[in-house]
Amino acid sequence: MKKNVLFLQGNEACVEAALYAGLDFFAGYPITPSTEVAELLSYRLPRKGGKFIQMEDELSSMCAIIGASLTGKKSMTATSGPGFSLMQEALGFAVMTETPCVILNVQRGGPSTGLPTSGSQGDVMQARWGTHGEHAIITLTASNNQDVFAMTVEAFNLAETFRSPVILLLDEVVAHTRERLIMPEQGEIRVVERLKTSVPEGTDYHPYLPREDGRLPMSDFGGIHRYNVTGLAHDMWGFPSTNPEAVYELMRHLVDKIQGHTHQIAMTKEFYIDDAEILLISYGSSARTALHVVEDRRQRGEKLGLLELQTLWPFPDGIVKKRCSGVACVIVVEMNMGQILHEVKRVSDNPGNVFLANKIDGSFIAPADILNILRIIQGKGA
């Protein structure tokens, strides 16, 4: 059968994937460089009976998708740095109330208004710790259209599986690069639907009582079970509780359900890695340059390899630790001042051999930016 091949932007690939995953509800606010997502969905969603609303700001966009998700709809919003900052409080509400939703943050240069039309990977730690309080979070990223599609679908899947907000952390370069997307057929990529309770009407339903496997079946808010949802620490009924035992159980559950499933959530891609002596670790648009350098040097017989991270949070400790062992050195390639570098150093047995090749001026990482570091490491001078 002839494949459906499209030529489009990363933001458009994300929209195609969200619809493939069953997106029913989008709320958003215009912001560069993510605006195309809202524009496209305002056209596409009503055609399939889905809901689109342009809210008054990013705070309300985040709140609206949580409200919609609780009623049983797959929901998402899309934004960039300043808007992502505004969403943090409500994002924590989604964590606390275990409401599945997807937040696309197309990273641009920051802080503040920064470089609205330039690429950056400066929000990696904000994705991890942007909302207040101890918590775990899932964050995915991608470097090309095909992966943007796969990771977007996976973001929805993980949101439903773990009843958690999932952050899709793209960057401006990926979002605005026009390239090929081979549109997957229906059924080609797994789509996870919401786990709903089988508790019948009239029988007590506990919205926050995890099953043995840690999952919590949901009941559509506004449906047959009336229950309370609160951002306060709560018991299995969803009622506010300050009982240390109940709070402890809740906190452990919120963190363990994600950290304890890192092996299931952690996704990476490996290129020329088995015999690699120099390992590059990268993600997003930076990984494209890193891959170019690896392939170029391989042609000259130099044993470089690339570990591309697709899951940033929970950090794939096990995979990174394993791949860092046995290589002469590791170079982390990213468009910030070392946000993933420090994670790699944390898990590596030899943190002294982990180096950074980065760019923070809004321009794209060029092969020379990596090669310059490589020359210094190899003792060839700057």
Partner 1 sequence: MAVRDYIRERFFPHLWCPGCGHGTIMGAMIRAIENLGMRKNNIVIVSGIGCSSRICGYLDFHTLHTIHGRALAFATGVKLSRPELTVIAPMGDGDAFAIGGNHLIHAARRNIDITAIIMNNNIYGMTGGQSSPSTGYGDFATTAPYGNIDRPFDVVKLAIGAGASFVARTTTFHVTSMIKIIEKAIKHKGFSVVDVLSQCPTYYGRKNKFSSAVEMLKYYRAHTTPIGSKDKENNPELIERGIFVDEQLPEYCEEYEKIMQTASQGG
One of 209, 224, 366, 376 touching partner 1 (CB under 8 A):
224
Q: Which helix H or strand E contains 43, and what residues bound it?
A: helix 35-44
Biggest alpha carbon–alpha carbon distance for the chain: 75
Find the distance separating the first CA and the last CA of the chain, reported in whole Å.
53
Q: List the one residue out of 24, 35, 32, 27 whose CA is nearest residue 59.
A: 27
Name the strand (E) or helix (H) holding 284: helix 284-299
Q: How far is the CB of 107 from partner 1 (least distance, A)?
A: 24
- Binding to partner 1 in span 70-89, by CB under 8 A: 70-73, 75, 89
Binding of residue 230 to partner 1 (CB under 8 A):
yes
Q: Which residues contact 43 (CB under 8 A, 6 or more apart)?
A: none
Amino acid identity of residue 126, one-letter, is: Q
> How far apart are CB 306 and partner 1 at their closest, in Å?
41
Report the C-alpha gap between 339 and 42 in whole angstroms.
35
Residues contacting partner 1: total by CB under 8 A: 44
Place of tokens 């709320």: 27
Task: Return the number of the residue (217 or 338) whose C-beta is nearest partner 1.
Answer: 217
For residues 278 and 303, is the Cβ–Cβ distance under 8 A? yes
* Residue 228 is a binding residue for partner 1 (CB under 8 A): yes
Is 185 an interacting residue with respect to partner 1 (CB under 8 A)?
no
For partner 1, the closer of residues 49 and 301 by Cβ is: 49
- Region near partner 1 per CB under 8 A, out of 20-28, 118-126, 172-180, 326-334: 20-28
Q: Applying CB under 8 A, which part among 43-51, 154-162, 302-310, 325-333 lies near partner 1?
A: 43-51
| Shortest distance (Å) from residue 38 CB to partner 1 | 15
Taking CB atoms within 8 Å and a gap of at least 24, the contacts of 84-87 are 84/58, 84/123, 84/126, 84/130, 85/126, 85/130, 86/57, 86/58, 86/59, 86/62, 87/58, 87/59, 87/61, 87/62
∠ Cα 16 18 23 (to 5°): 125
* Dihedral angle, C-alpha 217, 221, 226, 229, nearest 10 °: 80
Q: Please report how close the Cβ of residue 186 comes to partner 1 at its closest, in angstroms.
A: 19
State the residue for tokens 């299931």.
264
Q: Does 200 bind partner 1 (CB under 8 A)?
A: no
Site for partner 1 in 235-264 (CB under 8 A): 239-240
Residue number, 202 or 352, with CB nearest to partner 1: 202
Options 182, 209, 232, 376; binder of partner 1; rule CB under 8 A: 232
- From candidates 38, 64, 357, 370, binder to partner 1 by CB under 8 A: 64
CA-CA distances (angstroms) from residue 112 to 81, 85, 249?
Answer: 8, 9, 37
Report the C-alpha gap between 37 and 79 in whole angstroms.
9
Question: Contacting partner 1 (CB under 8 A), which of 2, 3, 5, 47?
Answer: 47
- Give the span between the Cα atoms of 80 and 33, in whole angstroms: 7
Q: Answer left, alpha or beta for residue 286, where phi above 0 means left and psi between -120 and 50 means alpha.
A: alpha
Q: Which of 111, 133, 222, 318 binds partner 1 (CB under 8 A)?
A: 222
Q: Which stretch binds partner 1 (CB under 8 A): 24-32, 144-152, 335-343, 345-353?
A: 24-32
Q: Rule CB under 8 A: choose which of 21, 27, 127, 167 binds partner 1.
A: 27
Measured from the CB atom, is 232 or 366 closer to partner 1? 232
The residue (of 85 and 143) whose beta carbon lies closer to partner 1 is 85
Spatial separation of the C-alpha atoms in residues 78 and 58, rounded to whole Å: 9
Adjacent-strand bridge partners of 340: none
* Interatomic CA distance for residues 359 and 362, integer angstroms: 7
Task: Report d(CA 282, CA 235) in Å as an integer.
Answer: 41
Sole binder of partner 1 in the list 25, 156, 205, 283 (CB under 8 A): 25
**Applying CB under 8 A, which part among 15-23, 220-228, 262-270, 308-316 lies near partner 1?**
220-228
Q: Which stretch binds partner 1 (CB under 8 A): 111-119, 224-232, 288-296, 371-379?
A: 224-232
Q: Which is nearer to partner 1, 235 or 270 (CB)?
A: 235
Contact residues toward partner 1 (CB under 8 A) are 24-25, 27, 43, 46-49, 51, 53, 55-57, 59-61, 63-73, 75, 89-90, 93, 221-224, 226-232, 239-240
